[in-house]
Amino acid sequence: MYSALCLIFLLFLASSLQKDRDFYTFQVVNIRGKLVSLEKYRGSVSLVVNVASQCGYTEGHYKALQQLQRDLGPYHFNVLGFPCNQFGHQEPDTEREIDLFVRKQYGVTFPMFSKIAVTGIGANNVYKYLTESSNKEPDWNFWKYLVGPDGKVVNAWGPTVSVEEIRPHITEIVRKRILKKKDEL
């Protein structure tokens, strides 16, 4: 009887903790090997993207993502790049090589993280959360997840949807966030 009650309590505790989870409750490793709490981005809008250096979408997406970061970030918005080698083996390099490439080739200033798996059994917990929350799982490079200031997934788009196409959605959420912050002052 006692063990059954303990089990029920533990299941209840686990489910209530799961409900409190959002994107910003996770920790990840950045591209330079340091553990980073995503909590530092809470209150901002984030566009989370699984990136690859040798994909047909690389050029257009990196340029547009960097422009978006330049125009809207870093106080109310951030692009968060997660290299992934799962699709077509198009991100074969080391973190150091990826970091040097994106900075030199595209002038990337947005945060980049270590190379991860975004689908399957070995998927990183951040991407498990994004997939479960949106009911949309990446099937190629440059999937984009829009995360609100509260850590909840707002929407997700595949690589065939350009950054320019989703820019109005992002801009509107950022605008609402700025207005809300002004009202709080």
Residue 144 has pLDDT above 90, yes or no: yes
To the query of whether residue 55 is one of the catalytic residues in this protein, the response is yes
Q: For residue range 83-141, what is the model confidence (pLDDT) as tens digits?
A: 999 999 999 999 999 999 999 999 999 999 999 999 999 999 999 999 999 999 999 99
Whether the full predicted model's pTM is greater than 0.75, yes or no, is yes
Instruction: Classify domain 23-184 at the CATH topology level.
Output: Glutaredoxin (3.40.30)
pLDDT at 14: 47
Catalytic residue among 48, 52, 55, 102: 55
Strand, helix or coil at 71?
Answer: helix
Q: For residue range 148-164, what is the model confidence (pLDDT) as tens digits?
A: 999 999 999 999 999 99
CB-CB contact of 114 with 83 (8 Å): yes
Residue 46 has pLDDT above 90, yes or no: yes
Rounded to the nearest 10 degrees, what angle do helices 58-72 and 163-184 cross at? 20
- Apex 46 CA angle, 45 and 47, nearest 5: 130
Give the separation between CA 54 and CA 120, rounded to whole angstroms: 22
Give percent of the chain with pLDDT exceeding 90.
Answer: 83
Question: Which residue type does 90 have?
Answer: Q
Domain ranges for the chain: 23-184
- Apex 165 CA angle, 66 and 152, nearest 5: 75
Structure tokens at 138: 């990446």
